[in-house]
């Protein structure tokens, strides 16, 4: 018997049903919207892969569009585009999503295609060989792009020798090794109904979506997935000297899980430090000293960990000064972030949160991710209240907490003048 859940405090148009096998269906009707966006989120990504499976989640995402028992690869595209729609997919460390956007009257078509590619894909050997070749070209393109390479190296250094630190795309040796039994084994192990959320928003009806979900996914057997390997921040460095015009570097520290009480405060600290044209790093590094065309700070949060970083590109000759200025600005922000800066960071965060809910695509992503993380959809007013509750002292404390961690450094290009990690550590820790 399917379970229907109350959505206390959320939109009256938000409805949630859990199928008998554990799969969750969440819909949100949006009056006045003519289109429908639908998606299937699976709580399985690169951090759920074994060593020999590096890149398999990403390959499966690609292979989902390469043919099913009833549709060829071209037919999958035609069925969506013939009704004016589009279809896409994405892989991250903690999940994989498959989404489609169509007119509201064609929501059934989109669901039929999504259900087909997720439960009836053939993983044909010829298509698999072609797609592995495509992904290897994608891998080569990343290797030819220094600012992509440096971010992958940064993550690997921060989480050494563990799934969280591995590149989502995989390595050539693992990509070449994938075959149909490996794909089917991974799906059987990780694509379990209790890890799947089907979300829809826009011009849709809840009961019709639930009925389609039952038809396409109701036959999935509940299986207990293996425990996810905990992420353990390590810190360290990756220096990649290379003859390039510019040095690219990322300097980081252990961030916070989105479950941590200081999550919003650290997000605001990142905004104050390097989140926009009025941020401290932009003003000091770009506008005052002209050391970089662009510099930014960021905070990536996951279920059980986080990663804070500052990324920039500069000339080899300016590298040491850039690092020194960046370290000084980070330490100073933790000491004296002020009322105006924090108010601005709050406003920027609220605009980002609320503007994402203005489209069906933004709604389904919010709804699916929150159900997977929290088991419920958090009303916007509850999130805004948490943002508003953060004080200047909270932001400073989050910055000081950040600075107690071991740094991670990744750099590529003319990096001879890059300070040692020991010196960076001593400067950060005072």
Q: Which tokens in the block code for residue 392?
A: 């200047």
Would you give the DSSP letter of residue 54?
Answer: T
Question: Which of 147, 148, 130 lies closest to 139 in space, CA to CA?
Answer: 148
Q: Which of 61, 94, 131, 156 is catalytic?
A: 61
> DSSP string spanning 111-157?
HHHHHHHHHSB---HHHHHHHHHHHHHHHHHHHT-HHHHHHHHHHHH
Q: Which tokens in the block code for residue 409?
A: 């450094």
d(Cα 37, Cα 17) in Å, to the nearest integer? 18
Find the Cα–Cα–Cα–Cα dihedral 229, 231, 237, 240, rounded to 10°.
50
Which residues lie below 8 Å from residue 423, measured CB to CB, with a gap of 6+?
A: none
**105 counts as catalytic:** no
Count helices and strands (H / E) in the chain. Answer: 16, 12
> DSSP string spanning 200-246?
EEES--HHHHHHHHHHHHTTPPP--PPPPPPP----EEEEEE---SS
Residue 326 — φ and ψ, nearest 5°?
-65, -45
Q: Which tokens in the block code for residue 215?
A: 């038809």
| Packing angle, helices 73-81 and 107-119, rounded to 10 | 160
Residues annotated as catalytic (active site), given as ranges: 61
């Amino acid at each position: 018997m399917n379970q229907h859940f109350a959505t206390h405090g959320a939109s009256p148009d938000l409805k949630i049903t859990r199928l008998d096998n554990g799969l969750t269906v969440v819909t949100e009707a949006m009056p006045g919207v003519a289109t429908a966006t639908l998606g299937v989120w699976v709580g399985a990504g690169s951090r759920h892969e074994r060593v020999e499976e590096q890149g398999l989640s990403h390959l499966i995402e690609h292979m989902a569009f390469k043919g099913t028992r009833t549709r060829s690869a071209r037919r999958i595209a035609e069925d969506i585009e013939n009704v004016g729609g589009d279809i896409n997919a994405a892989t991250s460390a903690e999940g994989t999503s498959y989404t489609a956007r169509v007119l509201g009257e064609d929501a059934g078509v989109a669901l039929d295609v999504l259900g087909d590619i997720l439960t009836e894909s053939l993983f044909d050997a010829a298509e698999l060989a072609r797609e592995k070749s495509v992904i290897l070209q994608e891998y080569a393109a990343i290797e030819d792009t220094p600012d992509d390479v440096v971010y992958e190296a940064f993550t690997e250094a921060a989480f050494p020798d563990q799934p969280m630190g591995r590149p989502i795309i995989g390595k050539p040796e693992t990509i070449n090794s994938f075959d149909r039994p490996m794909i089917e084994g991974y799906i059987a192990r990780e694509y379990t109904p209790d890890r799947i959320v089907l979300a829809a928003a826009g011009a849709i009806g809840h009961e019709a979506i639930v009925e389609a979900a039952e038809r396409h996914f109701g036959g999935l057997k509940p299986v207990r997935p293996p425990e996810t390997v905990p992420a353990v921040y390590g810190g360290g460095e990756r220096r990649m000297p290379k003859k390039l015009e510019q040095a690219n570097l990322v300097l980081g520290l252990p961030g916070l899980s989105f479950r941590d009480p200081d999550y919003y405060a650290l997000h605001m600290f990142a905004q104050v430090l390097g989140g926009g044209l009025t941020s401290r790093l932009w003003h000091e590094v770009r506008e005052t000293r002209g050391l970089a065309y662009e510099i930014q700070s960021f905070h990536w949060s996951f279920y059980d960990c986080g990663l804070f970083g500052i990324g920039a590109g500069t000339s080899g000759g300016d590298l040491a000064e850039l690092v020194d200025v960046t370290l000084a600005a980070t330490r100073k922000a933790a000491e004296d972030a002020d009322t105006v800066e924090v108010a601005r960071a709050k406003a920027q965060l609220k605009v980002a949160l609320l503007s994402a809910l203005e489209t069906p695509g933004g709604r389904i992503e919010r709804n699916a991710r929150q159900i997977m993380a929290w088991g419920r959809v958090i009303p916007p007013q509850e999130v805004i209240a948490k943002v508003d509750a953060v004080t200047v002292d909270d932001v400073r404390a989050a910055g000081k907490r950040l600075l107690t961690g071991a740094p991670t450094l990744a750099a590529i290009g003319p990096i001879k003048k890059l300070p040692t990690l020991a010196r960076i550590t001593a400067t950060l820790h005072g």
